[in-house]
Amino acid sequence: MAEVVGVFASSHAPMMTAARDAAPRHQADAFLGALDEASATLVDRGAQAVVICSNEHFTNFFLDNFPQTCVGVGERHLGPVERWLKIDRGWVPGAPELGSHIARHIIEHGHEPSFSHELRLDHGVMTIYNAIDSTMQLPLVPIIQNCAVKPMASLRRCYEFGRALRLAVEAFDGLDAVGIVGAGGLSHYVGEPRVGDIDVEFDRWFLDQIASGDLEEVFSLSDEELEQAGNGAHEVRSWLTIAGVAEPVTATVSAYEPIGPWITGMAVAQFS
């Protein structure tokens, strides 16, 4: 059965690759250094595939059919869709057996994700995947989560999904070692009058909850309260998914930088 060899959550922002130099150097170095360290941990432990849980940005889905969660079971995935991301566009190898197993196992254990054989990958996945493997050889199962269009899965449900995800991966006998990563948040505004604002208080509070391992306060947030940290704050659903993967939650926050030019509170946490 597969062993989960690395679990971490990271913020993402398209500017982290498209406009790295726009950020103050010490901030970019702190965040990206922590991301590189988390990525290396996963690779050094022999991950043969990686599952990345990230957010839908209308890259794959429109309002005619918008899944809460979609598991990418394709043999390969094209990304990034953004030609300005400064990541070479190419075909990322999929892990179809792992992805199909995850979809099937999770359905058998109380969740109903959709699946796709043809997911396109945007900055949400590619900025983090590129940090893990810039050569684009590590097989990837992308899991795309609805963090933008109401109604959205509850924060608690995302944590529960993460728990089920870990069980699914550990029940897979086609690989020995798999990494599981969450990508999104933290506070930011997109397409809103407050674009550019970062809620440092929220970010620090959220990271304190993650580090404490007690997430009941987070689970009790309504959508309306959460989005006072920005409509992009809904992406913490990916972090909570990873917390569920790691249960019991023991996390070390290795970086937090509110990076104005990237319009996002940027953080990395490794889970043991």
Partner 1 sequence: MSAYALQKWVYDSLHAGQSETADVIELDDYDLDESERRAVEDNDLRGLYQLGVHPILFNAHARSLGFSRNDYRELLRDLKDAPTEVPRWRK
Interaction site with partner 1 (CB under 8 A): 57-58, 62-64, 81, 83, 148-149, 189-196, 199, 201-202, 204-206, 217, 221, 224-225, 228-229, 231, 263
Least distance CB 58 / partner 1 (angstroms): 6
Least distance CB 97 / partner 1 (angstroms): 30
Question: Is the Cβ of residue 82 or residue 133 nearer to partner 1 in the bound state?
Answer: 82
Torsion angle, alpha carbons of 255, 257, 262, 268, to 10: 20
Least distance CB 28 / partner 1 (angstroms): 18
Helix (H) or strand (E) holding 265: strand 264-271
Least distance CB 252 / partner 1 (angstroms): 21
Least distance CB 62 / partner 1 (angstroms): 5
Question: Is the Cβ of residue 151 or residue 193 nearer to partner 1 in the bound state?
Answer: 193
The angle subtended at Cα 102 by Cα 100 and Cα 104, nearest 5°, is 70
Question: Is the Cβ of residue 209 or residue 254 nearer to partner 1 in the bound state?
Answer: 209
In angstroms, the CA 41 to CA 18 distance is: 25
Question: Is the Cβ of residue 20 or residue 163 nearer to partner 1 in the bound state?
Answer: 20
Question: Is the Cβ of residue 189 or residue 256 nearer to partner 1 in the bound state?
Answer: 189
Question: Is the Cβ of residue 81 or residue 171 nearer to partner 1 in the bound state?
Answer: 81
Q: For the beta carbon of residue 134, count every other beta carbon within 10 angstroms.
A: 11
8 A C-beta contact, residue 132 and residue 180? no
**Long-range CB pairs of 146-150, under 8 A, 24+ apart, other chains included:** 146/55, 146/56, 146/66, 146/67, 146/68, 146/69, 147/55, 147/56, 147/184, 147/234, 147/235, 147/237, 147/238, 148/55, 148/56, 148/57, 148/58, 148/231, 148/234, 149/56, 149/63, 149/66, 150/223
Q: In whole angstroms, how far apart are CA 147 and each of 25, 150, 192, 230? A: 30, 8, 16, 12
Least distance CB 113 / partner 1 (angstroms): 21
Least distance CB 147 / partner 1 (angstroms): 10
Q: Which two tokens stand for residue 62?
A: 């429109």
Helix (H) or strand (E) holding 209: helix 200-212
Question: Is the Cβ of residue 176 or residue 217 nearer to partner 1 in the bound state?
Answer: 217
Side chain identity, residue 26: H
